[in-house]
Amino acid sequence: MINDLVLNYILLFIFLELYEISWQKAPSIMGMILRMYKYYSKSIFLFLLMQPTFYFSIGFAMLTDLNIYAMILLFLKTVDVSTKIILIEQVFTKRKLSHELSLVLLAPINSFLPYIGLVAYPPLILLAF
């Protein structure tokens, strides 16, 4: 049976992930990037503060003494935030996109896609304990 501490970490992560989903959700990846750009254009620090699961993963990795599963979670969240910043820079700052990337960004996404993190990340928290 899962002890209370593990359950609390998982519930906290799910709550933080739902917060991120709520402000990023859009019908396409371009829509998601546009919503993120609103915060990024004000300040990159504000944008980074809007990513609480990233900070959760840093703290969680330290709390578990750099457990391999906690490090995988941290790596995935770092790649997630980095990818968002790179896409924002490509679309809004450099304004250089290939035709293929433009098509991908404008294509509609499945309504389940933003919720993948709710399925993928909690098992890593469970395995880290």
What pLDDT shows up at residue 19? 96
Q: What domain count does the chain have?
A: 1
Which pLDDT belongs to residue 33? 94
Name the band, by pLDDT with cuts 50, 70 and 90, for residue 1: low
Average pLDDT over the chain, rounded to an integer? 93
Residue from 64, 37, 59, 63 nearest 50 by CA: 37
Q: Supply the angle between the helices 4-24 and 29-42 in degrees, to the nearest 10.
A: 90
- Give pLDDT tens digits for 15-61: 999 999 999 999 999 999 999 999 999 999 999 999 999 999 999 99
Mean pLDDT of 101-114: 88
29 contacts 40 by C-beta, under 8 angstroms? no
What domain range includes position 98?
A: 4-128
Least confident of 20-24, 62-66, 109-113: 109-113
